Structure 1
Amino acid sequence: MAASTALLGSALMLVAGTLLAQTEVATPAGVYASTFSTDLMQLYREARLEDPQILASYAQAQAGQEHQREAMGALLPQLSFNAGSNRIHQDSDLVQRSFDSESYGLVMRQYLYNKAAWENYQKFKSLARQSESQALDTQAEASVELARRYFTALAAEDELQLVRAERLTTQKSLDRIDALYEKQLALITDQLDLKARVDLLSAQELDARNQASLSREALAEIVGRPVKERLNRIRDDLELQVSAHSLETWVHDGMALNPALKANESGVEAAGAALRSGKGGHYPTLSLNLSAQQTNEGYNNSLAPRTDSYVAGIGIQVPLYSGGSTSARVRGLYQDQVVAEQQLEATRRRVVKEITNAYLTANSNGEKIGANRLALESAQLSRVAAEKALSYGMVNAVDVLASVRNEYRARRDLLKTQYDFLSNVLILNRWAGKSPTESIEHVNDWLSPGSAGQDFR
């Protein structure tokens, strides 16, 4: 037992001293033929021109502006022109004749007081602001979705390379065991365990390749073209941190800048204006009317000398009773206002929740990244030591498989934590009302330009 312990100690010291030289490289070729690379910012620029959701949001904001202009038109002078030409035949005891008549008229009406029309304009003015805020919110959400799919694609390709690298590493161990087995220095169970693991990893590699292709298709759906380039990856020379601002500062910014919250605030304003417009149905309307007419047709369609008439007047219309429909409409509009207010409150609470979750999760991920890196270094040492000890017959294949699995599990945990960190940073910026372009640029700075992919050693 003492001799075995001393031998194991010597083997571990040898492994620790020659770790870099003994670490085996598995750098498989990428699944895409393109030698060009792209990053998150480039795809974001393309998505702003191609993503149907973003394009629809632009159209929605423009439509809101036009609806506001339409409502404003009811407050401006209403001018109309009419003309007519008639062939008239008169037959009486005194006369029988036929003649042509012509008439031309120009009428202008300008409301001097119309509460319903004015409040209706205020409603559409608020709805236009709501459409603009909703468009900004849609664009912010689309940027987060693009980043999520970008990191999903990276994770899928990482998984493919991890599985392939783990298979190659396990295959090397299997080759050693095969050589030892031929010399009757290894057990058949070790050989079978390693072969079963290699076969399982080969099957997993096929599935990982399919997932990598599917993740690329998800990106193509947004940018409107196949994404064949290599995707830039996270840099290793930077410390990932959220910001120096406190959670309270982020929440304060979200309450002031979040576009979804602004959209709901405009919705409440629009509902209030609609309610006032409904109440305006009980108010009188006052209008100025001007008209000019030229005609040669007299009373009872009789022929008359051509006459020019000019009329100016003030008209007032007072609603008295409309079967109760105006009151019912006002009650319904009041309930609509209550709905809008409750939606605003729900959005306020959601903004606080989303900012808090993203802030705390991103900070936690930032701390986990350092711990995961240390765990990966330890797992690498453990795997190399186990492989060396296997060649001396001091451990069996099960121990080697466990060490290999631990190493690649640590790699997966590190990569996943990095992607989760960047995703939560974008979510935090999105709910805090930061510009999507600035958020994408900030995250894109953490990606390495021209990256050729991970080297899983």
Structure 2
Amino acid sequence: MTVRIAVSLLLAVCVAHVHAQEPDSPPPASASVSANEYAADLMQLYRESRLEDPRVLAAYARAQAGVDRQREAFGGLLPQVTASGSFNRTNRDVESYSESFNNERYALSLSQHIYNKAAWENYQKFKQLARQGEFESVDAQAEATVDLAQRYFVALASDDELELILAERRATQKNLDRVNALYDRKMAMVTDVLDLQARVDALAAQEVEARNQVRLSREELSEIVGRPVEEKLSRIREDVELQVPGEAIDQWIERALAANPGLKAQEEALGAADAAVRESRGAHYPSLSLNLSAQRSDVGYDNTLAPRSDSYVASFGVQIPLYSGGSASARVRSLHSERLATEQQVEAIRRQVVKETTSAYLTAQSSIERIRASRNALESAEKSSVAAERGFQYGVVNAVDVLTSVQNEYAARRDLLKAQYDFITNLLVLNRWAGRLSEQSIENVNVWLARSEEARALERKATSEQD
């Protein structure tokens, strides 16, 4: 019976971390509201992190810079128009006379590439780099999302550890009090008292470490969202069936190779490297340009005053590179080597995508089996704990056996919670490598977290069982 009460206390403590909404009857008015009265779920923290995570903001800024550099390179292909003007005041002293006069000159010119391979390939290079920046931004956001989820469930696990330690300590303390009472009546051995006291003291030490871990895990969340996270965190609901998507692993790998943003970013980098090689080879090609200019001037030779004249010039310019000291060929060779290095980076990322996708898929599959096994183990541990309690009442087992059964029960609870957190985290990792991690993915996971009204129902149920 004592163990049953301890189990009820554990349930009441665990559900205290679930959402808290308004109760059925309005609460009494208060002058202040504590942050602990609110609850935060994964979706809320995700939306905050999109606006506060420096990694996400930096990735977006780099992507925008790539778009602007592409526009800059495109501007080199458009007509280049310049206007100039000058005004001169001249004083001339000659032996027979002196004079002063003003000169003016105005000019307008336009230059347009008709054929310039280097300029065109330069634009293609920055076009590829801009797309690379966009994919890198998506990949950085996906990585930050997985990191947020991992920290979220680490924080939940830290809360679980603390609450389980507290519950186990209370249950062990009750057993110790009962054994002490029996020992006073010469009905228990001193070794039972010492074993239980040692376990209570060990749990007290573990409680200190668990409280410290709770604070550290909350600080890790605060680092991402940019504010102290003091709210209760929503927990996994008991009425959901966690399942891995039905696609085979080959389909996930195929999807990952086609859609992984990190791999696509490296493929765009390879395209940019190809364009850079073509740009460097453009230094060996002739270029053709059109130039148009108009000028109005009354400036003569040596700044003398001349009749105003208007001139209009249209010209085609051809430039044929002959020899540049070998620098153009050397640049081609160096960029070709860089292109080969980028190609190897693409292959390395491709292999990493296959490995990580396979690992996440298999780990998620095994996590489902671990969840089932952990639930069965918990049920067996609960029955064993009840049986040990009854056996102790009838003198069949000693207090150490009861202590061992309680420890096994709480260990099974830890294993079950950890298996659930590992499954959800690996499912997000799988979608991240497959290029499918989005806000909708977080929303789908958030559905598995307990709503506040469900938490309150569980609290009322636990309280009634405790009474």
Query: When the two structures are superposed, what TM-score results if normalisation uses the length of structure 2?
Result: 0.90
> Aligned match of 1:272 in 267, 274, 293?
274
User: Which position in structure 1 is the counterpart of 2:399?
Assistant: 397
User: Which position in structure 2 is the counterpart of 1:362?
Assistant: 364
* Residue 235 of structure 2 corresponds to residue 251 of structure 1: no
| Aligned partners of 1:251 and 1:352 also within 8 Å | yes
After superposition, residues 12-31 of structure 1 pair within 5 angstroms as 25-26=9-10, 27-28=12-13
2: CA distance, partners of 1:298 / 1:403:
109
1:230 Cα shift? 1.4
Can you list the C-alpha shifts for 1:363-410, whole angstroms capped at 9, x where unaligned?
A: 111011111101011111112222332333332332222212211111
> Aligned match of 2:61 in 59, 62, 81?
59
Can you list the C-alpha shifts for 1:194-229, whole angstroms capped at 9, x where unaligned?
A: 111101101111111111111111111111111122
1: CA distance, partners of 2:268 / 2:3:
63
Count of aligned positions: 441
User: Which position in structure 1 is the counterpart of 2:196?
Assistant: 194
Can you list the C-alpha shifts for 1:331-387, whole angstroms capped at 9, x where unaligned?
A: 111011111111111111111111100001101110111111010111111122223
2: CA distance, partners of 1:94 / 1:21:
124
- 1:85 is paired with a residue whose SS is strand
Counterpart code for 1:306:
R
Q: Which runs of 5 or more structure 1 residues have no equivalent in the other structure?
A: 1-14
| Aligned partners of 1:23 and 1:384 also within 8 Å | no
User: Which position in structure 2 is the counterpart of 1:145?
Assistant: 147
2: CA distance, partners of 1:416 / 1:399:
26
> Aligned match of 2:175 in 170, 173, 178?
173
1:93 Cα shift? 5.3
2: CA distance, partners of 1:287 / 1:267:
30
Can you list the C-alpha shifts for 1:299-347, whole angstroms capped at 9, x where unaligned?
A: 2322101111111101111122222111111111101111111111111
After superposition, residues 3-14 of structure 1 pair within 5 angstroms as none
Counterpart code for 2:90:
I
Can you list the C-alpha shifts for 1:56-109, whole angstroms capped at 9, x where unaligned?
A: 111111111100000000000001111111222334556543322111111110
Q: Which runs of 5 or more structure 2 residues have no equivalent in the other structure?
A: 18-33
User: Which position in structure 2 is the counterpart of 1:424?
Assistant: 426
2: CA distance, partners of 1:426 / 1:84:
66
User: Which position in structure 1 is the counterpart of 2:345?
Assistant: 343
Counterpart code for 1:440:
I
User: Which position in structure 2 is the counterpart of 1:411?
Assistant: 413
After superposition, residues 153-232 of structure 1 pair within 5 angstroms as 153-232=155-234
1:240 Cα shift? 1.1
After superposition, residues 279-318 of structure 1 pair within 5 angstroms as 279-318=281-320
2: CA distance, partners of 1:403 / 1:379:
7
2: CA distance, partners of 1:298 / 1:110:
30
Query: When the two structures are superposed, what TM-score results if normalisation uses the length of structure 1?
Result: 0.92
2: CA distance, partners of 1:102 / 1:391:
115
2: CA distance, partners of 1:391 / 1:97:
128
Counterpart code for 1:77:
P
- 2:174 is paired with a residue whose SS is helix
Can you list the C-alpha shifts for 1:23-72, whole angstroms capped at 9, x where unaligned?
A: 55344496996122121111111111111111111111111110000000
1:445 Cα shift? 1.7
2: CA distance, partners of 1:142 / 1:33:
25
Can you list the C-alpha shifts for 1:257-306, whole angstroms capped at 9, x where unaligned?
A: 11111101100100000110011111111110011111110123221011
Residue 80 to residue 24, structure 1, CA distance change in 2 (3 Å): closer
- 1:265 is paired with a residue whose SS is helix
User: Which position in structure 2 is the counterpart of 1:84?
Assistant: 86
| Aligned partners of 2:4 and 2:386 also within 8 Å | no
Counterpart code for 2:76:
A
| Aligned partners of 1:19 and 1:381 also within 8 Å | no
User: Which position in structure 1 is the counterpart of 2:28?
Assistant: none
